[in-house]
Amino acid sequence: MRTTLVAVACLAAAPFLAACTENTDSNAGGAADTGNPRALSVESTDDGCQVSAAEAPAGTLTFDVTNTGSQVTEFYLLGEDGLRIVSEVENIGPSLNREMTVNAPAGKYFTACKPGMKGEGIRADFTVTAAQDGSEAPTADDQQLVDQATTNYAAYVKDQADQLLAKTQQFVDLYEQGEDDQARTLYPDARTHWERIETVAESFGDLDPKTDLREADLEPGQEWTGWHRIEKDLWPEKARDYTPLTPAERATYGDDLLANITTLHDRVQGLTYTVDQIANGSRGLLEEVATGKVTGEEEFWSGTDLWDFQANVDGARVGYEGVKPIVEQKDPELATELDSRFADLQQLLDAQKSGDGFKNYSQLTPEEIKALSDAVNALSEPLSRLTAAVLS
């Protein structure tokens, strides 16, 4: 009879199976006697709430709630704020026991019995610790990690935009005053802050071409402005028959760049991000390295490509590290791989350091470029899986 019932019910439950959660074996008299740390027992009396343990490892937890009082009771697992209901069982009459199964990620919680089903309930702290065995990694996505990642990333972008604006201001002043040597020193430094948030900057389709267009990418009739126009004027050695810009022209291009960077700075203030945008941005920055920097095309005149290279990698790493707590929960192997690939690439970059900055790109040997390119590719592959892992 029971078998038939269960069979019928399973059929009826089929549409909901995705929403089902594992029941632990509960045919035994009580779940708590099995020694399983994820099986807890709760005794709810009229004025007490005895939970068999105050902590459990993350995963599928089972609370076997027995009402030994005289009133109807309820049992809750509440979030850290004491308000969010993680799970509940209601209507546990006197002498009855009911099980509550919940998939709980690591964190702080409250347990609460509500004899008489009213009021705050009899509460106690409850802690879910990270699973040691790794076999039952929690699947519930932890909103806190997500919130933290997006908040931190927004703060990072704003901070970089602040520094970008300040250094661009200095750079433009020096350039317009004809202090070319100092301007040349500051150029890759100021651009570092641009390159670190390049995917965000590029998302403004009107600003990016005015700011970061290279001469080689100019379309017929398009006016060339921005960083690279000034770059060519500061490093004209490679140019044939180059006519230096007049002070008036310098002022025009300098003021234009500063105005565009100011607009960018203002626009990022109100931006918010989602975790997949952060993960995609991280991958996007590495693609910038692969298509522009490792080829030495970006800074054709100045040869400061390695500064940009490093800045793109910085930005990609910050993005990844922001979502890393989520990746560690969902795909710990990917996190480990990304950590080691980032470290490998950084080691190669460190080898090209010179003083506070980097060697000129023209000083790199073909073998060194090949090694950098390989390291970038080795990082790109796992990084392309980042978004999927974060969203899984």
Partner 1 sequence: MFANYLIGLREGLEAALVVSILVAYLVKSDRRHLLPRIWAGVALAVAVSLGFGAALTWGPRGLTFEAQEAIGGGLSIVAVAFVTWMIFWMARAARSMSGTLRGQIDAAAEGSRWSLVVVAVLAVGREGLETALFLWAATKAGTRESVGTITPTWEPLLGAALGIATAVALGYLIYRGAISINLTKFFTWTGAFLILVAAGVLAYGIHDLQEARFLPGLNDLAFDVSDTIDINSWYGALLKGVFNFSPATTKLEAAAWLLYAVPVMVLFLLGVRRRQTRPATSSTKTAGTSVPSHS
Residue 155 binds partner 1, judged by CB under 8 A = no
Closest to partner 1 by CB, 80 or 333: 80
- The answer to whether 65 touches 103, Cβ cutoff 8 Å, is no
Report if residue 216 touches partner 1, rule: CB under 8 A: no
**CA pair distance 227, 250, nearest whole angstrom:** 12
Contact residue for partner 1 among 6, 53, 351, 391 (CB under 8 A): 6
Q: Choose the binding region for partner 1 from 77-85, 186-194, 278-286, 333-341 (rule: CB under 8 A).
A: 77-85
- Shortest spacing between CB 45 and partner 1, in angstroms: 10
- Binding piece for partner 1, criterion CB under 8 A, among 26-34, 247-255, 295-303, 308-316: 26-34
d(CA 371, CA 363): 15
Whether 119 contacts 113, CB under 8 Å: no
Nearer to partner 1, 97 or 277 (CB): 97
Say which residue the tokens 């709760």 belong to.
Answer: 42
Dihedral class, residue 313 (left if φ above 0, else alpha if ψ from -120 to 50, else beta): alpha
* Burial label, 87 (beta-carbon count in 10 A; 0-12, 13-18, 19+): middle
* 70 touches partner 1 by CB under 8 A: yes
Start-to-end CA distance of the chain, whole Å, equals 40
Q: Map residues 96-125 to x or -, x wherever contact with partner 1 holds by CB under 8 A.
A: xxxxxxxx------------xxxx------
Note whether 53 binds partner 1 by CB under 8 A: no
Q: Is 35 in the site for partner 1 (CB under 8 A)?
A: no
- Supply the DSSP string of 50-105, one letter for each residue: EES-SEEESEEEEEEEEE-SSS-EEEEEE-TTS-SEEEEEEEE-TT-EEEEEEEE-
How many angstroms from the chain centroid is the CA of residue 103?
24
66 sits near partner 1 (criterion: CB under 8 A): yes
Cα 94 to the center of its chain, rounded Å: 48
Q: Is 377 in the site for partner 1 (CB under 8 A)?
A: no
Q: Give 72 or 165: the residue with its C-beta nearer to partner 1.
A: 72
Question: Which residues of this protein are in contact with partner 1, per CB under 8 A?
Answer: 2, 5-6, 8-10, 12-13, 16-17, 19-23, 26-27, 29-30, 33, 66, 68, 70-72, 83-88, 90-103, 116-119
